[in-house]
């Protein structure tokens, strides 16, 4: 790992949150009119508010930081997916959701395991809806029950898994893809969890190649593609021999970088639409160019709230935090919080030295 890796882990998390804040500015309106309204808000000087996607991402990183600390303290392996569930329950309780009792998780969702994130106002306020996540948290489980079943194909399935790409980009990190998929499956349908794993693989490949488009090609070459188009992701590829990544590359080549390929996107907030739209927008600007263009293009998607966090995470993972539009990033209301999380996460991955005593910031469970 190197300083470049530190820039990329900071970029992945900051880009995701910036994309979410950009989407909040754009609002739910799709297309050019919504993007223009968002652009006028982005031209101001005030703070950029985050949405619920940023909250889910931050609490996912919280678990990824606590897991190796727990392993160190207890000397036993700790599944990241298990601690992600504990962290998600803490987020739900802070949101005021009637989180159901879970004999395996309830003790670790208690206030004594809260940390500094629980004191960040923007992370505890209601900032939009996450219906599938809320439904999973509020189901009442019997003793010994598995994690909640779910049937949603929504784009939030991708958000809690994207931070796993940083760990998966390590030489020995392929095992984290499976854990990331398990995290998505805690709240969403298996098809959406498959897409979450696919996107994490692309983000890790973009990190390693230093390019979003090359990352997509590498993921295809490594056999990561899965079929889509019918709303159901499966192991394998489509009947024409190509899966979602193949179709995205084809659209990008045939219609060129920019907004032409967006005409093919459904006006839904599904995980599949978010993957397709996020990849198309993130691949549009050439490496070394103005990456703000990727956000502008993503804002033209039918559902920018699903697409823009993916755009930001991919751009940040490929090109580092310096490639993000700094004038906008500085205005994101939790920019400093996310950067502290990124440095703490980087420390647990062996990328950099710790800037603070993590034991007092992340109580282990």
Residue 199: CATH number of its domain: 1.10.4080.10
Instruction: Average the pLDDT over 118-138 and give the result.
Output: 92
Distance CA 79, CA 87 (A): 13
* CA-CA-CA-CA torsion sign (225, 60, 350, 213): positive
| Domain-located, residue 279 | yes
| Domain-located, residue 350 | yes
* CA-CA-CA-CA torsion sign (111, 117, 120, 121): negative
Given a contact cutoff of 8 angstroms between Cβ atoms, the answer to whether 309 and 159 are in contact is yes
Q: What are phi and psi of 268, to 5 degrees?
A: -130, 165
Given a contact cutoff of 8 angstroms between Cβ atoms, the answer to whether 150 and 196 are in contact is no
Distance CA 303, CA 292 (A): 18
User: pTM above 0.85?
Assistant: yes
Structure tokens at 154: 């929504």
pLDDT at 235 over 50: no
| Domain-located, residue 260 | yes
Q: Using alpha carbons only, what angle is made at residue 121 by residues 199 and 14, rounded to the nearest 5 degrees? A: 30
| Domain-located, residue 58 | no
Instruction: Average the pLDDT over 114-135 and give the result.
Output: 91
| Domain-located, residue 221 | yes
Place of tokens 């935090």: 321
- Specify the pLDDT at position 113: 64
| Domain-located, residue 175 | yes
- Specify the pLDDT at position 109: 56
- Specify the pLDDT at position 253: 77
Count of structural domains within the chain = 1
Q: Tell me what percent of the residues of the chain surpass a pLDDT of 90.
A: 51
| Domain-located, residue 118 | no
- Specify the pLDDT at position 232: 37
Specify burial of residue 157 (Cβ count, 10 A radius: 0-12, 13-18, 19+). buried
Which tens digits make up the pLDDT trace of 297-355?
Answer: 999 888 999 999 999 999 999 999 999 999 999 999 999 999 999 999 999 998 877 77
Structure tokens at 138: 């509020």
- Specify the pLDDT at position 242: 62
- Specify the pLDDT at position 144: 37
Instruction: Average the pLDDT over 131-159 and give the result.
Output: 73
* Residue 294 domain boundaries: 3-50+154-357
- Specify the pLDDT at position 241: 44
* pLDDT band at residue 170 under the 50/70/90 scheme: confident
SS3 label, residue 290: coil
SS3 label, residue 125: coil
Comparison of pLDDT for 300 and 255, the residue scoring more: 300
| Nearest C-alpha neighbor of 125 from the set 15, 24, 270, 269 | 24
* pLDDT band at residue 230 under the 50/70/90 scheme: very low
| Nearest C-alpha neighbor of 167 from the set 323, 60, 21 | 60
What is the pLDDT of the chain when averaged over all its residues? 83
Instruction: Average the pLDDT over 171-195 and give the result.
Output: 89
Which tens digits make up the pLDDT trace of 61-94?
Answer: 999 998 888 877 777 777 888 888 888 988 998 9
- Specify the pLDDT at position 103: 64
- Specify the pLDDT at position 233: 38
| Domain-located, residue 263 | yes
């Amino acid at each position: 790992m190197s300083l470049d890796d530190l820039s990329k882990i900071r970029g992945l998390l900051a880009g995701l949150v910036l994309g979410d804040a950009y989407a909040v500015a754009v609002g739910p309106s799709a297309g050019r009119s919504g993007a223009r309204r968002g652009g006028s808000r982005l031209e101001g000087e005030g703070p950029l508010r985050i949405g619920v996607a940023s909250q889910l991402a931050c609490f996912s990183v919280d678990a990824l930081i606590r897991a190796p600390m727990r392993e160190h303290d207890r000397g036993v392996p700790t599944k990241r997916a298990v601690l992600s569930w504990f962290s998600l329950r803490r987020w739900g309780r802070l949101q005021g959701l009637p989180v159901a009792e879970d004999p395996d998780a309830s003790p670790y969702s208690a206030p004594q395991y809260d940390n500094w994130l629980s004191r960040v106002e923007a992370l505890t306020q209601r900032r939009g809806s996450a219906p599938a996540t809320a439904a999973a948290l509020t189901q009442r489980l019997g003793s010994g029950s598995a994690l909640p079943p779910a049937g949603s194909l929504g784009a939030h399935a991708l958000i809690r898994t994207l931070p796993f790409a940083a760990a998966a980009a390590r030489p020995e990190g392929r095992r984290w893809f499976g854990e990331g998929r398990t995290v998505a499956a805690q709240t969403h349908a298996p098809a959406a969890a498959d897409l979450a794993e696919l996107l994490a693989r692309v983000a890790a490949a973009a990190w390693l190649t230093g390019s979003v488009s090359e990352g997509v090609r590498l993921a295809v070459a490594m056999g990561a593609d899965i079929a889509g188009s019918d709303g159901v992701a499966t192991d394998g590829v489509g009947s024409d021999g190509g899966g979602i990544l193949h179709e995205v590359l084809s659209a990008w080549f045939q219609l060129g970088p920019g907004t032409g390929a967006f005409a093919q996107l459904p006006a839904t907030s599904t995980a599949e639409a978010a993957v397709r739209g996020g990849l198309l927008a993130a691949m549009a600007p050439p490496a070394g160019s103005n990456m703000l263009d990727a956000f502008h293009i993503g804002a033209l998607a039918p559902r920018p709230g699903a697409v823009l966090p993916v755009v930001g995470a991919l751009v940040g993972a490929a090109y580092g935090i310096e490639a993000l539009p700094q004038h906008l990033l500085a205005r994101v209301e939790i920019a400093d919080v996310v950067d502290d999380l990124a440095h703490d996460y980087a420390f647990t991955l062996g990328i950099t030295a710790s800037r603070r005593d993590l034991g007092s910031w992340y109580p282990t469970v």
